[in-house]
Amino acid sequence: MNLVRILFSYLVQFVLGLRYRVRVGGTADAIKQPGPYLILPSHPAYMDPPNVIAHLWRTFRMRPMLLETNFESPILAPLAWLLRAIKVPETEKASAEARQRAAQSVQEVITALKAGDNVVLWPSGTLSRNGKDSLGAARTAADVLKAVPEATLVLVRTRGLWGSSFSWAYAKKPRLVPMLFRGIRQLFANLILFSPRRRVAMRLESFAAKDRPEPTREKLNPWLEAWYNADGGEQPTFVPYHFLFGPRTIEFPPPVQGADLDVSKVKPQTIEMVKEIVEQQLKRPLTPEENKAETTFAQLGLDSLEGMEIALQVEQRSGFSSDLVPTGLGQLWALADGLLDSGPPKPAPKEWFAPPSDTRPLEILGETVAEAFVNRVGANRREIAAADDLAGAVTYEKLFVGATAMAARFRDLPGDNVGLLLPASVAADLAFLGLHLANKLPVALNWTTGPANLEHAAKLMKLSRVVTSKKFIDRTQIEVPGTQFVFLEDVRATMGKFELLRRLLGLRFLSGFAKRKALGGVNTDPQRPAVVLFTSGSEKAPKAVPLTHANIIADMRGATPPQELTRADSVLGFLPMFHSFGLTIAGLFPLLAGAKVVHHPDPTDASSLARKAAAYKPTIIISTPTFVGFILNRCKPGDLDSLRLIVVGAEKCPDDIFRRVKELAPHASVLEGYGVTECAPCVAVNPVSKVKHGTIGKPLPNVTVCVVDLESGEKLPPNKMGLLLVSGPTVFPGYIGYEGESPFRDLDGVRWYVTGDLAALDDDGYIVFHGRLKRFLKAGGEMISLPALEEPLARMFPATDDGPRVAVEGIERDGGRLIVLFTTEEIALRDANAALQKEGFRGVMRLDEVRKVDAIPVLGTGKTDYKVLRAKLTEAKP
């Protein structure tokens, strides 16, 4: 193999020589030092690694450390194998797995050097942005030299490549693969032999341990930067692309500076939260001079892996996320407040815009989820059903093929109930439908409630398996104690192309047989549960809510007339499956009724959602006001022009949302509605033909509501506030494994569900919402149990003879919720939230403020008087 590598190095050197004239100096002096050699080149452009490897390999025969994403294609993958490359993962995206594997790559470098191999790696880890090398807080070189002090350090300074199309000299990131193809075209345009040559100089110098600084990044990195930039860096050099045609000179733009970031919208409490997390990583306080938006991780002495760790902590604490890893405090602030841009979503496939075969009102073609899906496949087999960035646009027949193939695997899973832990996506659709076709009951798990509640859900529903995704678990680090994960990536790997083709051909040419086979063995009773969701009130443990097929189908059929939905509509869906609104209305409804749905996995990624709306041009957004507000904050004029309906529920819609929708989505009507998980979930919605602002709509055509007096239980006349009750086919049959007070009440021979909400019916039958009885708030459509937040803090600070020492109370405001810890002790907000995070609370489940009080108010019974605390918050309400 060494002979093959030598011949290969000659070949690569010859090919590169058609464009580059490389002069190498200092090699003889460098090898006077004994090996093994750790070779650290500067990094002005993408083309210095192949030139360095080609011209130095015959001398050092080194193993290169290379970015694995550059070698994923079948063309380049053999090169990494031939060179015995040590692959390092991409670290520009936050990932716990990437962080771990990057550490493993560094250990592999150390092992190779100790075994006597020579290794070449690029210590900055990134291309030069301005003609100079900057290592910042990169730690790889220091860590390796600390572990292998006997290695001889060989530095390589490359000059002449800054200014090529493979560098940042044009003030934008070069795209490697497109530039490679462009280079090949230019090579042939120059008749191969006549390409103008770029003159490149490489200077080598070696250093034994005694001749270099001690291996800490604080001392080594400045020394390396001084050596690389000893000549002051370099000015960009332009080399003509063709020996006869094209420009002979060019004016380069100014060097890239840090991107401007508007942090004026960042909340002060967000800056404080980020400061706490960064200080925990640094193990020291931030100075006022450091705690500024322009401060970078490198200036704080943090490398890219430490920055990734901080970003993941911020994501878990704030509930927001981004594809890109922030590089400084300002970007962290923006991430924590949902203001950080992600990369743009993929453009919509052209087939997405194919018109439907008809524009009839939406219709559910069956009495169970499986039957309705299979019948819809038969009616619209070749039409688009769903889309996302990963799967593209998927037709009903492809959805059928994937779901039946998954069902064949899911049937072998132990137990009748299977957990489901996936964000909104085509994969989630396939898994949900596959479980139904396998005659399994999906149990949608809410990963934001923490491991204790997930463990409770698993035990209650007797779960042994949870269907999820490796990528999702890597990002969130979620655990479901007592269960095993079934990764969709592993399930997909067992599906051969022949099997999928056989299923597709069977559907196309033996449609009736294929549909009967898919439904064979599936229980067709519409009164059996179709899904189990979980909801939290003021109790410690979440309650299991089984929604039957009849509940879900009735809710979908009832929601169609008031919103005047047709098959010409398309939906932007991004609420997760554990959210009843997201599962039944925003996700499952369009699939079964014949409207397209495009998914996005992260409801907090407002920037990408705005761009996705602009790309896919949906007509409907079904969401919560919180997430709609995020999108409105990030969209540009024109992004939402396609919308005709914005359906909001799960929390009160602020007046500001209505005003901003008129400005940014001028063709859309905001339909405010009301729902609860126990009612599948939609109870009422404003009809599109007669919206009444200030109400949460009229009950669905097949739903009955009434308002009763809180004390007597008697029905109240219009415009009188009382307790809201709901009856109809959408109401669930009752909680699973729950021994508390019944959620139902018999009145006038009818069984009613007690919502626990205060409302009134106006003269036209519209519901006017007045508030909630139980001690919970809602943010982003998710219930926040105040007792659940209080309980771990009460364990830390138990009551004494003088009374309770902690209490949690909160209110909902137009500007967002306010959750406060009242305490008689000295407790920092950072420490209180850290305790909650340790308990597994994530995202919206956090405190916003700590208030020191002389005593916690109590009732005559000795219990905390939350009304007094709530009054304190209301008094301060802006």
**pLDDT one-digit tens code per residue, 136-170:** 778 899 999 999 999 999 999 999 999 999 998 98
What pLDDT score does 30 carry?
94
Determine the CATH number of domain 2-228: 3.40.1130.10
Residue type, 473: I
Three-state SS for 573? Answer: strand
Residues 6+ apart with CB under 8 A from 385: 394, 395, 396, 399, 591, 596, 597
The H helix count followed by the E strand count for the chain is 28, 32
pLDDT tens digit sequence for 491-529? 999 999 999 999 999 999 999 999 999 999 899 999 999
What pLDDT score does 486 carry?
97
Class (C level, CATH) for 776-875: alpha beta
What mean pLDDT is predicted for residues 668-683?
A: 94
Nearest to 479 by CA among 509, 504, 445: 445
Nearest to 616 by CA among 862, 349, 315, 260: 349
Choose the weakest-confidence range: 90-94, 152-156, 470-474, 681-685.
Answer: 90-94
What pLDDT score does 678 carry?
95
CATH 2.30.38.10 location in the chain: 698-772
CATH 1.10.1200.10 location in the chain: 268-336
Determine contact, residues 649/674, Cβ cutoff 8 Å.
Answer: yes
What pLDDT score does 211 carry?
94
pLDDT tens digit sequence for 409-457? 999 999 999 999 999 999 999 999 999 999 999 999 988 777 888 999 9
**pLDDT confidence band for 471 (50 / 70 / 90):** confident
Q: How far apart are CA 168 and CA 164, in angstroms?
A: 8
Distance of CA 185 to the CA centre of its chain: 38
What pLDDT score does 868 carry?
85
Cα angle 424-516-420, degrees, rounded to a multiple of 5: 25
Evaluate if residue 206 carries a pLDDT over 60: yes
Class (C level, CATH) for 350-685: alpha beta
Q: How far apart are CA 183 and CA 164, in angstroms?
A: 11
Query: Taking the C-alpha atoms of 396, 400, 402 and 407 in order, what is their torsion angle to the nearest 10 degrees?
Result: 150
What mean pLDDT is predicted for residues 330-352?
A: 78
The set of long-range contacts for 289-294, using a CB threshold of 8 Å and a minimum separation of 24, is 290/329, 291/329, 292/329, 292/330, 293/261, 293/263, 293/328, 293/329, 293/330, 293/333, 294/258, 294/328, 294/329, 294/330
Q: How far apart are CA 45 and CA 47, in angstroms?
A: 5
Determine contact, residues 603/574, Cβ cutoff 8 Å.
Answer: yes
Distance of CA 41 to the CA centre of its chain: 35
Residue 279 backbone class (left: φ over 0; alpha: ψ -120 to 50; beta: rest): alpha
**E runs forming strands in 570-688:** 570-573, 596-599, 620-623, 645-648, 669-675, 682-685
Peptide bond between residue 637 and the one before it cis (omega within 30 degrees of 0): no
What pLDDT score does 780 carry?
64
Evaluate if residue 784 carries a pLDDT over 80: no
**pLDDT confidence band for 322 (50 / 70 / 90):** low
Nearest to 622 by CA among 567, 678, 582, 566: 582
Nearest to 424 by CA among 634, 316, 581: 581
Three-state SS for 616? Answer: helix
What mean pLDDT is predicted for residues 276-289?
A: 88
Q: Is the dihedral of CA 815, 819, 824, 825 positive or negative?
A: negative
**pLDDT confidence band for 268 (50 / 70 / 90):** confident
Q: How far apart are CA 856 and CA 820, in angstroms?
A: 13
Evaluate if residue 310 carries a pLDDT over 80: yes
What mean pLDDT is predicted for residues 353-381?
A: 96
**pLDDT confidence band for 570 (50 / 70 / 90):** very high
Determine the CATH number of domain 698-772: 2.30.38.10
**pLDDT confidence band for 878 (50 / 70 / 90):** very low
Evaluate if residue 825 carries a pLDDT over 70: yes
Evaluate if residue 537 carries a pLDDT over 60: no
Q: What is the DSSP code string of 276-311? A: HHHHHHHTSPPPTTTSSTT-BTGGGT--HHHHHHHH
**Between residues 89 and 379, which one has the greater pLDDT?**
379
What pLDDT score does 538 carry?
37
Evaluate if residue 317 carries a pLDDT over 80: no
CATH 3.40.50.12780 location in the chain: 350-685
Evaluate if residue 395 carries a pLDDT over 50: yes
pLDDT tens digit sequence for 30-70? 999 998 999 999 999 999 999 999 999 999 999 999 988 87
Phi and psi at residue 367, to the nearest 5°: -105, -5
**Between residues 587 and 452, which one has the greater pLDDT?**
587
What mean pLDDT is predicted for residues 463-477?
A: 90
Peptide bond between residue 355 and the one before it cis (omega within 30 degrees of 0): no
Q: How many residues make up the chain in this entry?
A: 878
Residues 6+ apart with CB under 8 A from 768: 694, 695, 696, 759, 760, 761, 762
Residue with tokens 């009301």: 674
Class (C level, CATH) for 268-336: mainly alpha
**pLDDT confidence band for 103 (50 / 70 / 90):** confident
Nearest to 41 by CA among 157, 128, 152, 138: 157
Residues 6+ apart with CB under 8 A from 131: 44, 162, 169, 233, 234, 235, 236, 255
Evaluate if residue 782 carries a pLDDT over 80: no
**pLDDT confidence band for 864 (50 / 70 / 90):** confident
Joined together, the tokens standing for residue 607 give 């920037």
What pLDDT score does 861 carry?
44
Q: How far apart are CA 696 and CA 614, in angstroms?
A: 28
Determine contact, residues 432/588, Cβ cutoff 8 Å.
Answer: yes
What mean pLDDT is predicted for residues 630-647?
A: 92
Q: Judging by beta carbons within 10 Å of its beta carbon (0-12, 13-18, 19+), is residue 633 exposed, middle or buried?
A: middle
What pLDDT score does 656 carry?
83
Average pLDDT, the chain: 88
Residue type, 16: L
What mean pLDDT is predicted for residues 229-255?
A: 89
Burial 796-823 (b: 16+ CB within 10 A, else e): eeeeeeeebbbbbbbbbeeeebbbbbbb
CATH 3.30.300.30 location in the chain: 776-875
**Between residues 813 and 694, which one has the greater pLDDT?**
694
Nearest to 682 by CA among 667, 697, 662, 661: 697
**Between residues 577 and 438, which one has the greater pLDDT?**
438
Choose the weakest-confidence range: 178-187, 260-269, 288-297, 369-378.
Answer: 260-269
Choose the weakest-confidence range: 468-477, 590-599, 699-708, 822-831.
Answer: 468-477
pLDDT tens digit sequence for 849-860? 999 998 898 764
Q: How far apart are CA 628 and CA 723, in angstroms?
A: 29
Q: State percent of the chain over pLDDT 70.
A: 93
